[in-house]
Amino acid sequence: MFALLLSLLGCARTSTLYSNTFIKPATKVKKINVIYMESSLVSKTSKTSVQFYDIGYTDLPELLRERVPIVFALNNIGSEYATFKSQGFGQKEAVESIKWANVTPDAMLLTLQILDGQVVSGSHTPRTTTLNMQANLIDPRTQLRQWTGQFRNTFVAPPAGKNGFDNEFVDKLLKTVLEQMSRDGIIALAEHKAMTPIAKTTAAAN
């Protein structure tokens, strides 16, 4: 019954699996440049013929390009954004390939990468998509990781077939990452709560 209700309404959420601070900054970080490391994924242990490219996974780079500056600005964090097609390369190559990544020493670099995931659907169950993502915060001056976090993104699609890769999904993803960084002492957020456009509109209405 609960799964059926979720399938009717549609449900998307991002949860923190793990985080660790390697080097805590002397002051709270106020500018973060984001690099999304785009990976080609194939659904593992899939029980359906539906694959990631069928449900909008390839929209993520463009959605992040649009949403990162909006969500970060709402939380008083400056940002730049770029996408890097990993193709077997790592974050070192990504940082070296982005022009602004090494010319703004006052900004930290945040790399986001979907590591793996799956799409599961049955004849009597809603289609559920799970993506496991890793975030790394890097000091461009030393190339050392300052912080890391692992996150799980899950959404259950309604029967109409709406996928979860939309503005709201990406905003929630970024919100969860920022809030974990705040709890870990990397950035400053009031009560460790990040603002998103929807939350800001709701607060203004009240």
Question: What span, in angstroms and rounded, lies between the C-alpha atoms of 31 and 129?
Answer: 32
The pLDDT assigned to 127 comes to 75
Query: Phi first, then psi: what are they for 75, rounded to 5°?
Result: -105, 20
Question: What span, in angstroms and rounded, lies between the C-alpha atoms of 169 and 60?
Answer: 10
CATH topology of domain 2-205: Rossmann fold (3.40.50)
The pLDDT assigned to 96 comes to 56
The pLDDT assigned to 43 comes to 56
For the chain, which ranges sit under pLDDT 50?
Answer: 1-9, 46, 201-203, 205-206
Q: Closest Cα to residue 183, out of 18, 72, 12, 14?
A: 18
Residue 150 and residue 18 in contact, taking contact as beta carbons nearer than 8 Å? yes
The pLDDT assigned to 2 comes to 39
The pLDDT assigned to 91 comes to 55
Question: What span, in angstroms and rounded, lies between the C-alpha atoms of 178 and 190?
Answer: 12
pTM listed for this prediction: 0.80
Q: Where are the domains of the chain?
A: 2-205
